[in-house]
Amino acid sequence: MVNWCSKKAYTCQDLMELVRVLRHPGGCPWDQEQTHRSIRRNLLEEAYEAAEAIDSGDVDGLKEELGDVLLQVCFHASIEEDAGRFTLDDVADGVCKKLIYRHPHVFGDVNVHSTGEVLSNWEELKKKEKHQNTQADAVDAVARTLPALWRAEKMKQKAAKAGFDWRDVSGALDKLSEELDELRAAALEGDGDPVEELGDLLFAAVCAGRFLDADPEDALHAACDKFSVRFRRMEALAAQRGLALDKLSGSEQAALWREAH
């Protein structure tokens, strides 16, 4: 049993020390076996659970989920501390310096008059910081690990800063129609790779969504929720009539679907 001093209330420093205890001899065998790769998914899952608490307005849940995210940060930092590469303090030092550098209108002598100017300055400073000499460098730098819809949105936003964009939503919608036609040709006529064309269609849909100020992830989640509710109604209607959905014809299912709207 380790020597751990219980407290009425703990701090971030206590959390880091607790992680050290768990990861070192005398601690927890499972914690000692973990690597960055083995707990990579944990970090992503905890971040999404924190986002769900935000979406639901669950303040107590958010406090708990932020704690779980912080635990993952401490865990990764502890692994690197043991390797002698960096500590949690180094992580904090880096992000503090980044915030100061990217807020010259607060910590320097730069004047801004709108949040738009703040964001524009932030992007330019970020490019210098990351040694992104061209806008193509900025596009390439968008993380591949982002949800694909968000990745597409960010890449198109950065390309638009170089002037590569439609003038209005009409052009984006025309491109969306074009990609749909190409998908149809690939899927029904064998003219092209249907998987590639599906990707092009999704990318075009994200581009069109930018002109509507629509977050593509939120839009698709809303569509999923709508589908779930409508499908449940459809299934209930079938059950009320003693029908099994999988035994109905396509036209019968379509009629139920319209009725469930």
pLDDT digits (tens, 9 = 90+) for 71-97: 999 999 999 999 999 999 999 999 999
* pLDDT of 232 over the 90 cut: yes
What pLDDT does 4 receive?
84
User: Cα dist. 176→170, 173, 181, 213 in Å?
Assistant: 10, 5, 9, 17
Q: Provide mean pLDDT across the span 131-157.
A: 92
Confidence band, pLDDT 50/70/90 cuts, at residue 12: very high
- What is the residue type of 185? A
The predicted model scores a pTM of 0.74
The CA angle 136-140-142, to the nearest 5 degrees, is: 125
What span, in angstroms and rounded, lies between the C-alpha atoms of 76 and 46?
A: 14
Q: What is the pLDDT of residue 198?
A: 97
At residue 160, does pLDDT exceed 80? yes
Give residue-wise pLDDT tens across range 182-219: 999 999 999 999 999 999 999 999 999 999 999 999 99
Instruction: Reply yes or no on whether the pLDDT at 2 is more than 90.
Output: no
**Taking 80 as the threshold, does the pLDDT of residue 1 lie above it?**
no
Quote the pLDDT of residue 29.
Answer: 95
CA triplet 245, 246, 247: central angle to 5 degrees?
A: 90
The position carrying tokens 């690990």 is 145
What is the pLDDT, as a whole number, of residue 5?
84
Mean pLDDT of 157-170: 92
Report yes or no: 50 and 65 within 8 Å, Cβ to Cβ: yes
Cα-Cα-Cα-Cα torsion 23, 26, 30, 35, nearest 10 degrees, comes to 30
Domain positions in the chain are 12-93, 219-259
Q: How far apart are CA 13 and CA 129, in angstroms?
A: 30
CATH class label, 12-93:
mainly alpha
Buried b / exposed e over 12-23, threshold 16 CB at 10 Å, is: eeebbbbbebbb
**At residue 107, does pLDDT exceed 80?**
yes
Q: Give 141's DSSP letter.
A: T
Summary mean pLDDT of the chain? 94
Coil, helix or strand at residue 193: coil
pLDDT band at 120 (very low <50, low <70, confident <90, very high): confident
Contact yes or no for 122/99 (Cβ under 8 A): no
pLDDT at position 209 is: 95
Who has greater pLDDT, 129 or 184?
184
| Contact between residue 108 and residue 94 where contact means Cβ atoms under 8 Å apart | no
pLDDT-based confidence at residue 133 (cuts at 50, 70, 90): confident
State the pLDDT at residue 238. Answer: 94
Residue 155 in this model has a pLDDT that exceeds 90: yes
* pLDDT of amino acid 248: 93
